[in-house]
Amino acid sequence: MNLSTIHHIAIIVSDYEKSKDFYVNKLGFTVIRENYRPQKNDWKLDLKIDNTTELEIFAPKNPPKRPSFPEACGLRHLAFKVNEIERVVAELNKLGIECEPIRTDEFTNKK
């Protein structure tokens, strides 16, 4: 298994405009994609950290507080970029690590 780099880090925020201002205008991250997701009634903002790493910002209406809910303010997940996701999932399963089903991102069409 070759986990060569972190692909993206996802966080859930309570104030979309304030968070966007902070990461884009204050920290200088570049906007890759900005999408309103009507089915979830939230915003998803993808920002370029460097040539290989992105920051995903999710901004739902009234997210619950941590620690009791995974879809709450704070770190959502950490994703590693791999060449063959099916092979890596099989390797993780052999190690006893349960993985969610592989899904395709609706905006990038990538697994």
pLDDT tens readout for residues 30-76: 999 999 999 999 999 999 998 999 999 999 988 877 666 667 777 77
Q: Give the separation between CA 97 and CA 91, rounded to whole angstroms.
A: 9
For domain 5-82, is the CATH number 3.10.180.10? yes
Residue 45's φ and ψ, nearest 5 degrees, are -120, 120
pLDDT tens readout for residues 74-85: 777 767 788 899
Q: Which residues contact 103 (CB under 8 A, 6 or more apart)?
A: 111
Which of 34 and 95 is assigned the larger pLDDT? 34
**Distance separating the N- and C-terminal Cα atoms of the chain:** 17
β-strand partners of 33:
46
Which of 74 and 8 is assigned the larger pLDDT? 8
